[in-house]
């Protein structure tokens, strides 16, 4: 039993390690510095630009790695604590690498009363997704968002930036499965 | 560019516009785009060429409002509207231009949905291409700015806005003219003042600002520039949610195009007035819609609100005077300047002037974006414009004002809409979200939904909001699981009142509103959960109107 347990834990660590090597976070400091130079040039002389810099990084690589945050802090003379204060306050920023495909289920009022909970439920039960988590195969990311402003088309699910209006659990499952293959 | 050059450009654009006999308008708002409406434009172009129709053209336009029936294509100037268009319909629509009649997809526009609306803010939505500054200029855009810069002094602009009776469209309804006046009077040491457009539309169930920014960004820009001139500011910020990528893109484009034409930047239209605008992105925090939190966020910090006074008009971004107006407020400025304050004041009710844009959603037949004069009754909105509840279900309540608002039931539906009337009913105008609930909706569940939203979004700075909200949510969860006790109800009320009185900012002060409102109007649904358990309560809530 013990052996099995540690095996699976070891397996998990291994997958995390192998996948981490693909992440931007594993670059050397020089490489990161080179990469962040364009953000620094763009925003250096603009007051209060921290949120915009973080947006730019996330836009380009999908999340904000700790190493990058550290380098940004050095380049723009902002304490790491300040950066993390912002990163953890705003829901929009991601601190972990994201899956290949992003699924955002809108849980605004209109979507809530028109069936968003059922869609979330089926994604959880049938496909084993968890809100705020990346699947083990690093293919999908499930998140909930508070209103994407497509209330006229409720319930809305945003898959890879594309709004799927008037969704049903069946349609979403089908769509996700088509991305799996 | 000088004012006369701008006028010349407008005249030549209008002359060119006259040569176009008919134009097909394809809606490229977020709603219709989700059904791939942008692909219709090249398809229609190809079809027009194939049929050899030279005087006809096609363009993408902003949201027409009837999102539920999208994608929409309309043919102008005759106004024929096609709904739920697919690739296969393109041929038929183009043939119709030539007088052949394919009627299957034609939408009847002779309905209250179109007739009862009055469009001021949205007059260009669905008419002009939001990505083209020429189209906006052709539709008499930037005439208000020219008028202001050539023939009015700042005080006259503020007086016009005061005369119009325009009030803040973000929800609280503060008189815009008075705010501008306060801002014009406040001084900063280095002369820096900021004008901010609040596009952080965080209300779940609302999409007015998004549609306006996507459909007619230049109108908002024009309003901001005029505001800058009136209050003596040379720098503006547009704060937009990052969740609205399309709005951000179109706004950015509008700013660049306006700069090219010298409508933004140094010495606008050859005058001595300079003004520039930058976009700042929100990052998914509802509390940032609150003025002081928004200021913190623009400064690049976490969006914690701070106590007022000092009000932002005295000390805002980096301690400088800052004036924050909602997107819709700015969109009202240009028409007021063009047509005069008295004209605007003639629309609406005694204290609430002009029109209001609402996002009508939920269990209603025609969900979408609407604009009605103040004073329209809720019944007209829900039943005439909205077409009543979906699938003939019985109406239960309409929720206005998002998580800070309340529920209005059948008996109050004949109330004319105004800031005061909605407040008297225990709700608020809010930014304009309107969610219709039918007989199947459980009010306790909806209340929990709003409360959970506020608990998630509470910044945690002050105890009443942080702890009070959590306690309310726990009690509601218990009630919904059938584990509530009769003592829960008075306790809910007690916590609500404490939060209203003691919270630091608007979020905490208004978070209990949905609870109080449902407890007032639907107390029996709460009692059903407490007395008879979950199953009984669900059945009972369905049987009641």
Question: What are the pLDDT digits (tens) for A40-61?
Answer: 999 988 888 999 999 999 999 9
Instruction: Report d(CA A167, CA A177) in Å as an integer.
Output: 15
What is the average per-residue pLDDT within A162-176? 92
Between B67 and B297, residue with greater pLDDT: B297
Beta bridge partners of B341: none
- Over 90: is that where the pLDDT of B26 sits? yes
The percent of residues above 90 in pLDDT, for chain B, comes to 78
Comparing alpha-carbon positions, the chain A residue that sits nearest to B443 is A113
Tokens 């083990």 locate to: A136
Chain A neighbors of B206, CB-CB under 8 A: 147, 149, 151
Q: How confident is the model at residue A38 (pLDDT cuts 50, 70, 90)?
A: very high
Question: Where do the domains of chain B lie, and which CATH numbers do they carry?
Answer: 3-109 (3.40.30.10), 141-345 (3.40.50.11540), 355-438 (3.10.20.600), 451-543 (1.20.1440.230)
Residue A94 lies in a domain: no
Residues A165 and A129 occupy one common structural domain: yes
Split into its structural domains, chain A has a count of: 2
Q: How confident is the model at residue A23 (pLDDT cuts 50, 70, 90)?
A: low
Comparing alpha-carbon positions, the chain B residue that sits nearest to A113 is B362
Q: How confident is the model at residue B177 (pLDDT cuts 50, 70, 90)?
A: very high
Residue A16: the pLDDT is 45
Residue A5: the pLDDT is 40
Q: Which of B35, B70, B301 sits opposite A86 (nearest CB)?
A: B301
Residues A28 and A6 occupy one common structural domain: yes
What is the average per-residue pLDDT within B438-442? 92
| Residue A41: Cβ within 10 Å count | 10
Residues A138 and A65 occupy one common structural domain: no
Q: How confident is the model at residue A27 (pLDDT cuts 50, 70, 90)?
A: confident
- Over 80: is that where the pLDDT of A7 sits? no
Query: Which residues of A, range 23-62, sit inside 8 Å of B by Cβ?
Result: 46-52, 54-55
Last residue of a domain, one of A32, A67, A89: A89
Instruction: Report d(CA B195, CA B329) in Å as an integer.
Output: 13
Q: How confident is the model at residue B203 (pLDDT cuts 50, 70, 90)?
A: confident
Structural domain of A62: 2-89
Residues A68 and A113 occupy one common structural domain: no
Interface check for A4 against chain B (CB to CB < 8 A): the answer is no
Q: Where are the alpha helices (DSSP H) in A22-108?
A: 29-43, 50-61, 66-76, 80-89
Q: Which long-range contacts (CB under 8 A, 24 or more apart) does B290-298 make?
A: B290/B505, B290/B506, B290/B507, B291/B198, B291/B324, B292/B505, B293/B459, B293/B505, B294/B196, B294/B198, B294/B200, B294/B239, B294/B324, B295/B196, B295/B322, B295/B324, B297/A51, B297/B239, B298/A48, B298/B196, B298/B237, B298/B239
- Over 70: is that where the pLDDT of A24 sits? no
Interface check for A165 against chain B (CB to CB < 8 A): the answer is yes
Q: Do A89 and B281 touch (CB under 8 A)?
A: no
Q: Do B67 and A47 touch (CB under 8 A)?
A: no
Question: Do B228 and B266 form a contact (C-beta atoms < 8 A)?
Answer: no
Residue A125 lies in a domain: yes
Last residue of a domain, one of A58, A89, A120: A89
Mean of the per-residue pLDDT values of chain A: 85
Taking one residue from A and the other from B, the number of pairs with CB-CB distance under 8 angstroms is: 150
Query: Which CATH number do you get for residue A159?
Result: 3.40.30.10
Between B321 and B109, residue with greater pLDDT: B321
What is the average per-residue pLDDT within A35-42? 91
Residue A53 lies in a domain: yes
Instruction: Report d(CA A34, CA B456) in Å as an integer.
Output: 37
Residue A72 lies in a domain: yes
Residue B529: the pLDDT is 94
**CA distance readout (Å), A55 to A43, A51, A180, B59:** 12, 6, 28, 32
ipTM: 0.89
pLDDT in tens, B487-537: 999 999 999 999 999 999 989 999 999 999 999 999 999 999 999 888 888
Residues A115 and A156 occupy one common structural domain: yes
Question: Do A93 and A54 form a contact (C-beta atoms < 8 A)?
Answer: yes
Q: How confident is the model at residue A17 (pLDDT cuts 50, 70, 90)?
A: very low
Residues A123 and A175 occupy one common structural domain: yes
Interface check for A90 against chain B (CB to CB < 8 A): the answer is yes
pLDDT in tens, B151-161: 999 999 999 99
Query: Which residues of B, range 31-70, sit inside 8 Å of A by Cβ?
Result: 31, 33-35, 66-68, 70
Instruction: Report d(CA B257, CA B254) in Å as an integer.
Output: 5
B47 φ/ψ angles, rounded to the nearest 5 degrees: -65, -40
User: Which stretch of A117-121, B100-104, B202-206, B405-409 has the lowest confidence by average pLDDT?
Assistant: B100-104
Last residue of a domain, one of A34, A62, A89: A89
- Over 60: is that where the pLDDT of B375 sits? yes
Residue B68: the pLDDT is 83
Q: How confident is the model at residue B95 (pLDDT cuts 50, 70, 90)?
A: confident
What is the average per-residue pLDDT within B422-440? 91
Q: Do A86 and B446 touch (CB under 8 A)?
A: no
Q: How confident is the model at residue A11 (pLDDT cuts 50, 70, 90)?
A: very low
Residues A6 and A81 occupy one common structural domain: yes
Nearest to B217 by CA among B105, B154, B125, B295: B125
Mean of the per-residue pLDDT values of chain B: 93
A157 φ/ψ angles, rounded to the nearest 5 degrees: -130, 125
Chain B neighbors of A82, CB-CB under 8 A: 301
Instruction: Report d(CA A78, CA A81) in Å as an integer.
Output: 8
- Over 80: is that where the pLDDT of B146 sits? yes
Q: Do B362 and A113 touch (CB under 8 A)?
A: yes
What is the average per-residue pLDDT within A123-136? 91
Q: Which of A109, A161, A165 sits opposite B205 (nearest CB)?
A: A109
Residue A156 lies in a domain: yes
The percent of residues above 90 in pLDDT, for chain A, comes to 57
Q: How confident is the model at residue A10 (pLDDT cuts 50, 70, 90)?
A: very low
Residues A79 and A10 occupy one common structural domain: yes
pLDDT in tens, B247-276: 999 999 999 999 999 999 999 999 999 999
Residues A108 and A149 occupy one common structural domain: yes
- Over 90: is that where the pLDDT of A12 sits? no
């Amino acid at each position: 039993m013990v052996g099995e347990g540690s095996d699976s834990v070891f397996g998990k660590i291994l997958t995390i390690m192998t996948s981490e090597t693909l992440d931007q976070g594993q670059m050397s400091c020089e490489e990161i510095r080179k990469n962040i130079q364009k953000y620094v040039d763009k925003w250096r002389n603009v007051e209060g630009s921290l949120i915009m810099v973080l947006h730019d990084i996330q836009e380009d690589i999908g999340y904000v790695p700790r190493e990058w945050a550290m380098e940004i802090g050095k380049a723009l003379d902002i304490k790491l604590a300040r950066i993390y204060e912002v990163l953890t306050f705003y829901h929009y920023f991601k601190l972990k690498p994201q899956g290949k495909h992003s699924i955002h289920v809108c849980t605004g009022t209109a979507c809530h009363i028109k069936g968003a909970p059922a869609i979330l439920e089926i994604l959880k039960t049938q496909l084993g997704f968890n809100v705020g988590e990346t699947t083990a195969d690093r293919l999908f990311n499930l998140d909930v968002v508070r209103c994407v402003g497509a209330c006229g088309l409720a319930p809305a699910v945003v898959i890879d930036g594309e709004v799927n209006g008037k969704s049903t659990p069946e349609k979403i499952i089908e769509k996700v499965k088509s991305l799996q293959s | 560019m000088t004012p006369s050059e701008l006028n010349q450009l407008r005249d030549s654009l209008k002359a060119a516009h006259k040569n176009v006999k008919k134009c097909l308008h394809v809606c490229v708002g977020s709603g219709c785009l989700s059904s791939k409406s942008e692909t219709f434009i090249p398809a229609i172009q190809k079809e027009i060429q194939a049929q050899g129709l030279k005087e006809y053209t096609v363009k993408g336009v902003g949201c027409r409002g009837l999102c539920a029936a999208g994608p929409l294509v309309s043919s102008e100037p005759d106004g024929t509207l096609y709904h739920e268009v697919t690739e296969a319909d393109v041929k038929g629509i183009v043939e119709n231009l030539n007088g052949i009649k394919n009627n299957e997809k034609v939408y009847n526009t002779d309905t209250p949905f179109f007739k009862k609306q009055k469009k001021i803010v949205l007059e260009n939505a669905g008419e002009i291409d939001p990505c083209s500054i020429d189209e906006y200029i052709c539709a008499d855009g930037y005439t208000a700015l020219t008028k202001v810069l050539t023939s009015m002094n700042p005080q006259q602009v503020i007086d016009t806005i005061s005369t119009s009776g325009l009030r803040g469209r973000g929800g609280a309804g503060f008189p815009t003219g008075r705010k501008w006046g306060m801002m014009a009077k406040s001084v900063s040491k280095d002369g820096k003042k900021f004008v901010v457009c609040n596009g952080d539309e965080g209300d779940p169930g609302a999409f007015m600002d998004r549609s306006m920014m996507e459909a007619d960004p230049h109108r908002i820009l024009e309003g901001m520039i005029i505001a800058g001139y009136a209050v003596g500011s040379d720098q503006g910020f547009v704060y937009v949610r990052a969740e609205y990528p399309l709005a951000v893109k179109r706004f950015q484009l509008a700013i660049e195009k306006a700069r090219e034409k010298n409508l933004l930047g140094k010495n606008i239209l050859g005058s001595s007035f300079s003004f520039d605008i930058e976009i700042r992105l929100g990052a998914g925090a509802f509390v940032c819609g609150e003025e002081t939190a928004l200021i913190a966020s623009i400064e690049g910090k976490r969006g914690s609100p701070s106590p007022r006074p000092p009000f932002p008009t005295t000390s805002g971004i980096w301690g400088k005077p800052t004036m924050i107006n909602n997107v819709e407020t700015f969109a009202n400025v240009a028409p007021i300047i063009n047509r005069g304050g008295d004209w605007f004041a003639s629309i609406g009710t005694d204290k609430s002037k002009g029109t209001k844009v609402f996002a009508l959603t939920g269990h209603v037949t025609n969900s979408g974006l609407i604009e009605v004069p103040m004073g329209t009754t809720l019944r007209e909105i829900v039943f005439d414009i909205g077409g009543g509840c979906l699938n003939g279900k019985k109406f239960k309540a309409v929720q206005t004002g998002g998580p800070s608002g309340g529920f209005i039931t059948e008996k109050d539906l004949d109330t004319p809409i105004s800031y005061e009337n909605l407040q008297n009913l225990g709700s608020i105008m809010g930014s304009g979200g309107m969610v219709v609930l039918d007989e199947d909706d459980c009010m306790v569940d909806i209340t929990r939904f709003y409360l959970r939203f506020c608990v998630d979004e509470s910044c945690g700075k002050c105890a009443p909001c942080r702890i009070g909200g959590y306690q309310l949510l726990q009690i509601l969860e218990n009630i919904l699981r059938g584990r509530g006790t009769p003592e829960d109800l008075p306790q809910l009320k007690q916590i609500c009142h404490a939060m209203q009185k003691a919270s630091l900012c608007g979020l905490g002060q208004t978070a209990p509103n949905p609870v109080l409102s449902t407890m007032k109007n639907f107390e029996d649904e709460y009692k059903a959960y407490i007395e008879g358990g979950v199953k009984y309560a669900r059945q009972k809530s369905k049987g009641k109107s």
